Amino acid sequence: LGLRSPRSPCAKPCPSLPAGSQLPCFHGSSTIRNLKERFHMNMTEEQLQLLIEQMVDGSMRSITTKLYDGFQYLTNGIM
């Protein structure tokens, strides 16, 4: 939610990108659009808060999250 603030440098990442960037990750028109969509600017703060809670709840119940957490614990000692 804080990154959507107009004062956040992440709120408007496009002007800070060099025009005609040669970085492969910025080729194609969908890259910047997809980045902007992650901020869900069309949602109110309440709607976004609900979406975030749903995403966290889904992640907590996910077997892949549990597997990844186990992998992190075994390889890096991260609990």
* 12: region left, alpha or beta (phi > 0 left; psi from -120 to 50 alpha): beta
* Same domain (yes/no): 24, 56: no
* Same domain (yes/no): 34, 54: no
* Same domain (yes/no): 2, 34: yes
What pTM was estimated for this model as a whole? 0.60
* Same domain (yes/no): 36, 20: yes
* Same domain (yes/no): 15, 37: yes
Residue 62 and residue 12: Cα distance in Å, rounded? 32
pLDDT in tens, the chain (79 residues): 777 766 666 655 555 555 667 777 777 767 777 877 888 888 899 999 999 999 999 999 999 999 999 999 999 998 7
Query: Number of structural domains, the chain?
Result: 2
Residue 79 and residue 44: Cα distance in Å, rounded? 34
CB 70 within 8 A of CB 62: no
Q: Which domain holds residue 73?
A: 44-78
Q: What is residue 59's predicted lDDT score, i.e. its pLDDT?
A: 94
* Same domain (yes/no): 22, 49: no
